[in-house]
Amino acid sequence: MANNPTHARPGWVYLVGAGSGDPELLTIKAARLIDEADVIVYDNLVAPAILDLVGPQVERIYAGKQRGDHALAQEEINHLLVRLARAGRRVVRLKGGDPFTFGRGGEEVETLAADGIPFEVVPGITAAAGVAAYAGIPLTHREHAQACVFVTGHLKDGSMDLDWPGLARRRQTVVIYMGLSGLPVLCEKLIEHGLPPDWPAAIVQRGTQPEQRTVTGTLATLPALAAAAQLRAPTLIIIGTVVTLRDKLRWFEERGA
């Protein structure tokens, strides 16, 4: 659907990527739309510092999802956006990261399109890019990885039935979203399908935010290290030899952010 932002009017829905946490990583367009919104429908992964940018006159509706605790089912969120737009509201659907990268944005705009609701999608910095950069771990590097794969640790049925042979390849970086609870299984399966136990791996908690914490290890050691550190979601897991560059390239935590 082609929409012209210069003719924007009330009754539209904007799927806006809030990025990986640091409010200064918002796009200029995202910041403008947040400022102009009548109502914000936001996720659990939207950082508090970004919500602080929302004016007091703007209605806020929480539609977050945490493991085993959904404020609203996805279908309810889809139809909520339709109802708000039909009531003539300028709706910003604020989603952590990027709306089209494990954000269910595709499902939401399918409903909007089917119901004839005008919409725009505003990309955000997805967690893989933002968190890896702030952790000092390049996703690609000529000496380490010529490919990068993004996967989610939770499928629609709650299982972790991934393409293990494809993920257990060398010369690539694997980034796992929402994989903290399945970390032991993830590491076990990658070893089972050919990666060595000493293959480098890292997990980052609340990346790009002041409370960012990064734990590095190997496929054999990372589950125990993460448990000992008592990490909590949201986290991002990065697997590949690029992780070994962190000791030289770490900058965010070193500056005492």
Residue 152 CA, chain-centre distance (Å), reads 10
Determine, yes or no, domain membership for 230: yes
Mark whether 15 and 104 lie in a shared domain.
yes
Determine, yes or no, domain membership for 254: no
Q: What is the mean pLDDT of the chain?
A: 92
Pick from 87, 122, 157: which residue ends a domain? 122
Mark whether 89 and 111 lie in a shared domain.
yes
Instruction: Output the CA torsion 243→249→254→257 (10° steps).
Output: -90
Query: Which pLDDT does position 23 carry in this prediction?
Result: 97
Catalytic residue among 22, 43, 98, 189: 43
Determine, yes or no, domain membership for 175: yes
The mean-pLDDT minimum among 9-23, 108-122, 135-149, 238-252 falls in 9-23
Count up the domains in the chain and report the number. 2
What CATH number corresponds to the domain at position 181?
A: 3.30.950.10
Q: Does residue 132 surpass a pLDDT of 90?
A: yes
Pick from 83, 103, 122: which residue ends a domain? 122
Q: Residue 89: which domain range?
A: 5-122
Mark whether 149 and 162 lie in a shared domain.
yes
Query: Which pLDDT does position 247 carry in this prediction?
Result: 95
Q: Which residues contact 55 (CB under 8 A, 6 or more apart)?
A: 35
Q: Does residue 63 surpass a pLDDT of 60?
A: yes
Determine, yes or no, domain membership for 253: no
Determine, yes or no, domain membership for 256: no
Query: Which pLDDT does position 72 carry in this prediction?
Result: 84
Mark whether 98 and 167 lie in a shared domain.
no
Determine, yes or no, domain membership for 19: yes
Segment 132-156 shows an average pLDDT of: 92
Mark whether 182 and 99 lie in a shared domain.
no
Mark whether 135 and 111 lie in a shared domain.
no
Share of the chain above pLDDT 90, in %: 86
What CATH number corresponds to the domain at position 78?
A: 3.40.1010.10
Tell me: the pLDDT tens digits for 37-61?
999 999 999 999 999 999 999 999 9
Tell me: the pLDDT tens digits for 64-108?
765 555 568 999 999 999 999 999 999 999 999 999 999 899 999
Mark whether 70 and 180 lie in a shared domain.
no
Determine, yes or no, domain membership for 92: yes
Mark whether 242 and 132 lie in a shared domain.
yes
Residue whose C-alpha is closest to residue 100's, from 91, 109, 92, 90: 109
Mark whether 160 and 110 lie in a shared domain.
no
Active site residue 29: no
Mark whether 181 and 141 lie in a shared domain.
yes
Determine, yes or no, domain membership for 187: yes
Helix (H, G, I), strand (E, B) or coil at 85: helix
For the whole model, what pTM was predicted? 0.90
List, in sequence order, the alpha helices (H) in 37-152.
48-51, 74-86, 105-114, 127-135
Catalytic residue among 22, 29, 52, 65: 65
Mark whether 94 and 117 lie in a shared domain.
yes
Mark whether 38 and 87 lie in a shared domain.
yes
Pick from 100, 122, 144: which residue ends a domain? 122
Query: Which pLDDT does position 177 carry in this prediction?
Result: 95
Share of the chain above pLDDT 70, in %: 91
Active site residue 65: yes
